[in-house]
Chain A
């Protein structure tokens, strides 16, 4: 059955954009061994002839007319921002210095 190494878990944390301490990685590696064994049971009955269900309702696109309706003001939209400037979200640098 599946198991993950500490490096695998560290890679998942990187993909999920979460810094983790050594202790956290250690704990999660142990826990994932147990959890993955338990959830892998789905493979026992998931044969190729069974269709997948992603959602309880038959989903279809819902359209509305392209008309302006009341919405948040810029001040309201920015009211929870950690930082803002000139009616925009201010974010840390997203490109390297040399870029």
Chain B
């Protein structure tokens, strides 16, 4: 039952073949069985999940009209607040904090009857590409427990790949939904910026952060997308327009006549051979399905990474000033006579990890008087150039595509001491965040040389998210015909793992 898609689980619930309580318990059992090895979860809310499942079962018994995902379990990235449930953002500075309110994403999930199993592991404050920056220890990739599950949302992607949950929520500032999806053989979508409310999403880089849906199939991802998306008066950057029809697009999966633009600059040197091979094969499948493949150029994408590592740290240095040891979270050194400033200094030294400190200081530098124009100001100009590249390319095609990541999952510890090598993981995902458009990663096979999953990225213009779902569904269907079974059936079984 736990290896089914959410859509199949929903059918079992509506036909009466199972109950949400039984489905939830099956996932809690799976978590108890495998999470000691995977470490996808930071907190499991068994009681809350079972209560919510019982409520959905009762509503169903009363004949109430329920949303399509009512009663389905979900794993929530620990950067979104849920009232009364510990929220750490993977940081020591928030250890033990229980938020007094729900994020809008959580409110929408609760209103739809989605059952929240618990909070998933992540790089501290979503800064990282491997989940190794979590203060609570790394998450392990279910395909190979010695490898990273991607980051920052490695807990959510690993939970899906280990069948601990059929649905998950991630957040994506520079690729934190799509890169984890790519390296775990799962599906992840970063919606158009403003498509999903950021209210209650602990801010890292406000102009780039976007919450989004993760699942094992394109249709499940679309169903979750429609649950969490929509205008929210509590977020001034929330787009006040109808949600793109992503479920209809995922069900239809029609690409006949669509123009698919292959980004010349995001495929070549630096991309692993097996990644390129699976990507090229996927393009052939899309062409067979009736799409027209064209090449597009985005000459300024090569500056995206540099601009990102100025803009994101700048915004983070400002956003993380709120962790001041005064109103919530950790407080260290509050002895008689200690000044507020020394308490702040000591708390932030103890509470923040290495990567967070590195980025706060980098941002402080980039924003400082005398250097502002050279760094932050120049990065903002690059942002304009990248957006122009997208606009020009979208005149020649309906969606743009690339491999999601240059390589498959690397070993835990392999890049931990080389920040620049780590940052290169996001080279193909960052441009999407800079322009605020939509991006999806879906599995397109395993690399022949290492047997690890490869991600296929689809990018669609602002508020045209349905286009990436059409293309994703078409590719998924063609690949499934080829494979005969979902890619995750090739992953090692974790059954019996302690």
User: Which residues of A pack against B, CB within 8 Å?
Assistant: 4, 9, 12-13, 15-20, 24, 28, 31-32, 34-35, 38-47, 50-57, 59, 61-62, 64, 72, 76-77, 79-83, 89, 91-94, 96-97
Contacts and interface: CB of A to CB of B under 8 A. Distances in A.
A37 to B, nearest CB: 9
Interface in B418-454: 419-420, 434-436
B193 interface: yes
Given A57-B194, A80-B327, A16 B317 contact: yes
Contacts of B378: 42-43, 46
Contacts of A52: 377, 380-381, 383-384
A39 B237 CA distance: 28
Interface of B: 97-101, 193-194, 207, 233, 236-237, 239, 300, 303, 305-307, 309-310, 317, 321, 324-331, 334, 337-346, 348-349, 352, 354, 357-358, 360-362, 364-365, 368, 374-375, 377-385, 387, 419-420, 434-436, 462
Given A12-B361, A45-B385, 10 more contacts: A32-B362, A34-B420, A38-B309, A39-B306, A39-B375, A50-B385, A51-B381, A57-B237, A59-B237, A80-B99
28 contacts: A16-B348, A16-B361, A17-B321, A17-B324, A17-B341, A31-B419, A35-B309, A35-B362, A42-B307, A45-B385, A46-B382, A47-B381, A50-B384, A53-B384, A56-B462, A57-B239, A61-B236, A62-B233, A72-B100, A79-B98, A79-B100, A80-B100, A82-B328, A82-B329, A91-B340, A92-B343, A93-B338, A94-B340
B74 to A, nearest CB: 25
B91 to A, nearest CB: 13
A24 B357 contact: yes
Nearest to B315: A54
Contacts of A45: 300, 303, 381-382, 385
A55 B433 CA distance: 10
A43 B306 CA distance: 10
Contacts of A91: 326, 340
B361 A19 contact: no
B360 A42 contact: no
B339 A19 contact: no
A53 B307 CA distance: 11
A89 B327 CA distance: 6
Contacts of B329: 80, 82
Contacts of A80: 97-100, 327-329
Contacts of A28: 357-358, 361
A41 B306 contact: yes
Given A89-B326, A92-B343, A56 B193 contact: yes
Contacts of A72: 100-101
The 9 closest A-B pairs by CB, nearest first: A56-B436, A80-B328, A46-B378, A82-B331, A52-B380, A19-B349, A46-B381, A76-B100, A53-B383
B489 to A, nearest CB: 38
A68 B346 CA distance: 39
A88 to B, nearest CB: 11
B232 to A, nearest CB: 11
- B193, B303, B337, B462, most chain A CB atoms within 10 A: B303
B353 to A, nearest CB: 11
Given A19-B346, A42-B307, A42-B310, A92 B340 contact: yes
Contacts of B99: 80
Contact of A17 (B239, B345, B365, B419): B345
A93 B337 contact: yes
- B233, B362, B387, B462, most chain A CB atoms within 10 A: B362
Nearest to B238: A62
B5 to A, nearest CB: 32
A41 B303 contact: yes
Contacts of A96: 339
Contact of A81 (B328, B343, B349): B328
Contact of A31 (B326, B345, B358, B381): B358
